[in-house]
Structure 1
Amino acid sequence: MIWWFKARRIAPVLVPSLLTCLVVIGLAHAWTIELPGLLTGSHNRIFLLYLVPILPASALNLALTSRLTEAETAAAREVRRYDLALICGAAAALTLGGVLIGAASGAPEAWASGRNMLFLTGLMLLAHAIKAEAAVAAPSAWVFLVMFFGFDQYRYPYFWSILPHAPGHLISLAAAILTFAAGLVAFATQRRAL
């Protein structure tokens, strides 16, 4: 439906954010910054790619909260199915893009960007079920929690931090998939106040 596509701001917001994210993954996959480790007294080396999935998760949250209430109330088709397809399509596009960029560049951090996108999008969807307008705070808060508290004194990431682990880290991969699946279920089953 054209009104759904326009109301969700897919062309002006979501697509450019996904493309920007892929460009940043391609160009800055090895860029790091040093931040103080608040628990260790030393510094944590943080890849810029840990921050990148916040952009598409935020754009996806904006798309999901942009609605035409009257049109959705009277819609003959199930709008929620379109929204679920949009969520899965955005996550798949960024995951596939990260894998392709990682394969082309040989950068393991690019491979992990898809997993990180799934995890942060799942967090956003779980928060969206509670308070849609503030859901973007969940992935942002997680990223900053990991940046300052996610590493031990040997600069090795804690198991719960998810984002800084290698792409093949099974606990992080399982946590990302489970969080994304839980977010999809929470989004699909939440009641809408139309």
Structure 2
Amino acid sequence: MWWVKAHRVHTVLSASLALFVLLLVLFQGGSVALPSLTGGATQVVLALFVPVPLVSGLALCLDTRLPAAESTAVRPVRYLDAALVVAVALVATAASAVAGAAWEDAVTGAVGRNTLFLAGLMLIARALFGRPGVLLPTAWILTVCLCGFRPGNDAYPWTVLPEPLGAPHAAAAALLMFGAGVTVQIRYARNSP
């Protein structure tokens, strides 16, 4: 119980999940024209931005800790943190799949895949750079918006996020990034915030 309270799972993460679901509902099918470095304006679906509050809330929960208590804890705190990450990813993937199926919107259905990719990226960056590493998922989204599209609004394969729901390379990239992120979280997570 102290782990849940110390990491503020009941407050921060529940609010992040609620905001995630609210944004799924609000942004379904919506898009916005953004400037692109490759020339002209690019139509970017708003659903690309839906995982940001959830991934940020998860990072805050993982960074909010009691270092002295966790370093001497009998329970495997790193595995509890990894279980929290997996649980959040499963809930996000299920919520986007249900919303996508309910509205017959493949873009909304792909938000779960994108959340896996961005959460894995955040976990790796957090282990490498500490707290500033949580900005990397947002930087990835901005990079995709600014230079991830060919003329005609066709996304490059490396972008992963705007790829269609059935794109096998995007699903593989998301699963690999998430798996690598969870592995890094378990093995190389920092002992202090």
TM range (shorter): over 0.9
Q: Which residue of 2 aligns with 1:22?
A: 21
- The residue matched to 2:110 in structure 1 has which SS? helix
Map of 1:9-48 to 2, 5 A cutoff?
A: 9-39=8-38, 41-48=39-46
Q: Which residue of 1 aligns with 2:186?
A: 188
Matching residue's letter, 1:148 = L
| TM-score, normalising length: structure 1 | 0.95
Spell out, residue by residue over 1:101-159, the C-alpha distance to the aligned partner (whole angstroms, 9 max, x if none): 00101111111000000000010011011122112111010000001101001210000
- Gaps (5+ residues) in structure 2? none
| TM-score, normalising length: structure 2 | 0.96
Separation (CA, whole Å) in 1 of partners of 2:75 and 2:124: 24
Map of 1:7-156 to 2, 5 A cutoff?
A: 7-39=6-38, 41-156=39-154
Separation (CA, whole Å) in 2 of partners of 1:26 and 1:192: 36
- 1:191 deviation in Å? 5.3
Structure 1 contact 61–135 (Cα < 8 Å) conserved: no
Separation (CA, whole Å) in 1 of partners of 2:60 and 2:176: 23
RMSD over aligned CA atoms reads: 1.1
- The residue matched to 2:155 in structure 1 has which SS? coil
Separation (CA, whole Å) in 2 of partners of 1:62 and 1:27: 24
- Gaps (5+ residues) in structure 1? none
Separation (CA, whole Å) in 1 of partners of 2:191 and 2:87: 25
Q: How many pairs were matched up?
A: 192
Say if 1:191 and 1:35 are closer, same or farther in 2 by CA, change over 3 A. closer
The answer to whether the aligner puts 1:160 opposite 2:178 as a matched pair is: no
Separation (CA, whole Å) in 2 of partners of 1:191 and 1:85: 14
- 1:68 deviation in Å? 0.6
Separation (CA, whole Å) in 2 of partners of 1:49 and 1:192: 31
